[in-house]
Amino acid sequence: MEAGMVTPAPALVRFSGIQKTYDGEHLVVKNLDLDIRKGEFITLLGPSGSGKTTTLMMLAGFEVPTQGEIYLADRPIKNMPPHKRDIGMVFQNYALFPHLTIAENIAFPLSVRKINKAEAQERVKSALRMIKMETLAHRRPGQLSGGQQQRVALARALVFNPQLVLMDEPLGALDKRLREQMQLEIKQLHETMGITVVYVTHDQSEALTMSDRIAVFNDGIVQQIDTPDALYEHPVNSFVAHFIGENNVLAGTIETVEKEYCRVALAGGGAVTARAVNISGAGASTSLSVRPERISIILDGTSSDGPNRLPARVQSTIYLGDHALAVLDVAGNGEFIVKLQPDAHVNLRHGDSVFITFRPEDCLALDPV
Amino acid sequence: MTAVLTSADAPTEVPLKRRLKRAERARQVKALALVLPLLLFLLFTFAGPIAGMLWRAVDDREVRQILPQTIAVLADWDGKDLPDEKAYAALAGDILAARGSGTMAIAAKRLNYALNGFRTILTSTARNLKAVPEPGTAKETLGKINPAWRERATWTTIKDASGPLTGFYLLAALDLTRNIDGAIVAAPPDQAIYRNIFTRTFIISLSVTALCLILGFPVAYLLATLPPGRSNLLMIFVLLPFWTSLLVRTCAWIVLLQSKGVVNDSLHWLGIIDEPLRLIYNRFGVCVAMTHVLLPFMILPLYSSMKAISPAYMRAAASLGAPPVTAFLRIYLPQTLPGIGAGSLLVFILALGYYITPALVGGAADQMISYFIALYTTETANWGLASALGTVLLLVTLLLALLYGKLVQGQQVTGGMKN
């Protein structure tokens, strides 16, 4: 979907100046402007209470925006009841109708649309084939496993070819292995069917795995909308840097700013050069963000001398099979994590004095936390 | 645990099984001990009386005890002609003996149920029979005292009542009787009232059940969907009727509905009616008062079945394109069916046995079967017929409960929702 960034597809959904409050006092969604392009897989990611689910519910029609308008294919839908919106939805707990069989559940959206029996049957059959559950057509939802129920819910939301499919933390109730498998299956369905998907989750790895674009929500505001790699490499503020992936934070004060880079004096002693991303200028305080895998540990303190070289003390090491982690004390941050090769941790012992170094472009100067 | 592990060394599986059974037995005994007081209580207050009722419906030993010789002789009688001299002699002996012991009235009462006027026949015979007739003259003597002894029907009545078991009361409860030749036929019209009363009982119960369902369903829905604070308040209103006695509530309806009552006065004052409406001592009053009393029994099962339906189902239905009415009819309503069934069965069965309310606010044509059961037990002391009516009611109710069980068996579904 990178091509979409060059020639943007037309917006299928447009949130325009959306605000939402439940109690009339504080806004759950503050001034949301968001375009969702036709055919893309967009994830609304954020901690609980950030407004992402409310946004999805407003799009589905179960909540009405307090202010602003939502356009679906250029038609305002703020006051359109949910059943007329032609939006498929997969719910957190599947919401399969317990008194109907699997086949009847999948046929439900077709029968309320008065699609003739023969065609409906054909479409239910091919939907069952798609989720590889032809043999279970006459079971009831209660007799299925969580993963199977999830597939049925998917098939039911897709069988009537909606212009948009919403998914509200659909994999939340599944165990890790099954969740990962379902992520790939959903991604594959999206690619083969060319549908537009709006996906809500609080799990950043799920968002990174599946999305074309991710909208990071916090405190009722979209912090950043971007592709997964852009979010990881170029977070616009400390919240995004923190929320996406692992991240080390060092507090400091900006001494000088020079073009795209700045020199920062650390609160715990020492100074480093960092990329100036979100700072107010010389003299302001800042939070530096460095990814664990962009840091090297130097065992003998005599070798190379770079711009970003800080003394560190080893706290502990953690072996994780495919890689290892070193937990260091760096400039007053006692939980500074460095990612290592699997066997590199054997050289580090609690209390060892070492040096760490990282490139200036891997260190981002962001708004203070 | 260790004990099981050591026994695993033994090659046979039996000891392990036995051990398991023993362990289970201790639990079962404990469970039994916990329910034992209630079990005994139910046995004495519920199972015992019901068994007694079933027994009294077919028990028929009064005549046998009081006219033993007659019954013994009549055992060989084919019932085609009048019995022979032996039977008359035995009857004369029995009558004299019963007159001596003063038990004649008991037999007279039982025989009078089957043949109106039998009491007079027996008492007049007992009064006029001076001594044991000379051998060979018993037939003539008795016939002279009361010509009824020359009729076959008199004798078949005694033979029918010879016990020890009888279908007489059960047949009577179904408006049936045995004719002179012992065939089962419809009872004469002046005695054939019970089918009518059973039908009336079922119609009133069905109407009350339907009214409760119509009135209770929206309330239960509101209870299940309102936020907890307000639904608790509403629940108190629903349960309020339980806080006053049945009698008080029924009398309140009399105050409200009588011709000079609150409702009629209000309607008159508003100018809607000129003449007071007849709202009580008829079917309308019975249905209103019974619906009021039984409404909570409908609302509570409905509420519990609705409470289990996640709002996500209705949202899912809407997102799949179902307008609200379709979603309600195809998704919500079917899931409340177990509640509708349970509530309706409960209300219907409770209504079947209603006695006080129809007695107080109903007219003569609105009395239900329990009124007649009470009448026969307390007023006329016809325990046999009262028990037979009770038995029929019990059997019909059991049949309905079984039917309901069959109907819901296929409906039992566990929700797809896991939370």
- B205 and B279 fall within a common domain: yes
Q: What is the rounded average pLDDT for all residues in chain B?
A: 87
CATH code for the domain of A170:
3.40.50.300
* pLDDT tens figures, B299-321: 999 999 999 999 999 999 999 99
Structure tokens at B283: 């079917």
Q: What percent helix, strand, coil does chain B show, rounded to 5?
A: 75, 0, 25
**Shortest CA distance to B329 belongs to which of B314, B343, B309?**
B314
- A176 and A296 fall within a common domain: no
Burial pattern B144-159, b for ≥16 Cβ within 10 A else e, equals ebbebbebeebbbbbb
Q: How far is B409 from chain A (nearest CA, A)?
A: 13
Q: What burial class does residue B364 get, using C-beta atoms within 10 Å of its C-beta: 0-12 exposed, 13-18 middle, 19+ buried? A: exposed
- B257 and B390 fall within a common domain: yes
Query: In Å, what is the CA distance from A144 to each residue of A149, A152, A222, B190?
Result: 6, 10, 37, 63
Q: A158: nearest CA in chain B?
A: B320
- What pLDDT is attached to residue B414? 38
Q: How far is A169 from chain B (nearest CA, A)?
A: 14
- What pLDDT is attached to residue A7? 55
**B-proximal residues of A, 158-197, CB under 8 Å:** 160, 166, 173
Query: In Å, what is the CA distance from B74 to each residue of A244, B134, B151?
Result: 103, 20, 15
- B232 and B340 fall within a common domain: yes
pLDDT above 70 covers what percent of chain B? Answer: 94
* pLDDT tens figures, B105-132: 888 999 999 888 899 999 888 888 888 8
Which residues contact residue B236 at a Cβ distance below 8 angstroms, ignoring those fewer than 6 apart?
none
- What domain count does chain B have? 3
Which residues contact residue A345 at a Cβ distance below 8 angstroms, ignoring those fewer than 6 apart?
A317, A318, A319, A324, A325, A326
Give the residue ranges of DSSP H helices in B129-261: 138-145, 152-160, 168-173, 194-225, 228-239, 246-257
CB A328 within 8 A of CB A338: yes
Q: Characterize the bridge pairing of strands A261-266 and A296-298.
A: unpaired
- A89 and A199 fall within a common domain: yes
- B40 and B92 fall within a common domain: no
- A105 and A122 fall within a common domain: yes
Contact state of A83 with B331 under an 8 Å Cβ cutoff: no
Q: B410: nearest CA in chain A?
A: A99
CATH code for the domain of A265:
2.40.50.100
ipTM over 0.85: no
Contact state of B414 with A173 under an 8 Å Cβ cutoff: no
Q: What burial class does residue B304 get, using C-beta atoms within 10 Å of its C-beta: 0-12 exposed, 13-18 middle, 19+ buried? A: middle
pLDDT in tens, chain B (419 residues): 444 444 445 455 678 888 888 888 988 999 999 999 999 999 999 999 999 999 999 999 989 999 998 999 888 888 788 888 888 989 888 998 888 888 888 889 999 998 888 999 998 888 888 888 888 788 888 888 888 898 888 999 998 898 889 989 999 999 998 888 888 889 888 888 999 999 999 999 999 999 999 999 999 999 999 998 899 999 998 888 788 888 888 888 999 998 888 888 899 899 888 888 888 899 999 999 999 989 999 999 999 999 999 999 999 999 999 999 999 999 999 999 989 998 999 999 999 989 889 999 988 889 999 999 999 999 888 999 999 999 999 998 899 888 888 876 655 543 333 33
* pLDDT tens figures, A171-205: 988 888 889 989 998 999 899 888 999 999 999 99
- B53 and B68 fall within a common domain: no
Give the residue ranges of DSSP H helices in chain A: 3-6, 52-60, 102-112, 117-130, 146-158, 176-193, 204-210, 228-233, 238-243
Residue of B326, B334, B417 with shortest CB distance to A99: B334
CB A369 within 8 A of CB A238: yes
CATH code for the domain of B260:
1.10.3720.10
Is A261 touching B (CB cutoff 8 A)? no
Among A72, A93, A101, the residue to mutate for chain B (most B Cβ within 10 A): A93
- A40 and A181 fall within a common domain: yes
- A143 and A287 fall within a common domain: no
Structure tokens at B347: 């209300």
**Planar angle of CA A355, A359, A364, nearest 5 degrees:** 110
Q: Is residue B299 part of a domain?
A: yes
Q: Is residue B7 part of a domain?
A: no
- B271 and B361 fall within a common domain: yes
**B-proximal residues of A, 51-90, CB under 8 Å:** 60-62, 81-89
- B214 and B331 fall within a common domain: yes
Q: Rounded to an integer, what distance in angstroms lies between the CA atom of residue B221 and that of residue A156?
A: 27
Structural domain harbouring B109: 62-164
- A54 and A117 fall within a common domain: yes
CB B195 within 8 A of CB B203: no
Structural domain harbouring A172: 3-238
Q: Which of A238, A267, A288 delimits the end of a domain?
A: A238
Q: Which of A178, A213, A238 delimits the end of a domain?
A: A238
Contact state of B415 with A98 under an 8 Å Cβ cutoff: yes
CB B276 within 8 A of CB B260: yes
- B114 and B202 fall within a common domain: no
- What pLDDT is attached to residue B3? 45
Q: Quick check: A325 pLDDT over 80?
A: yes
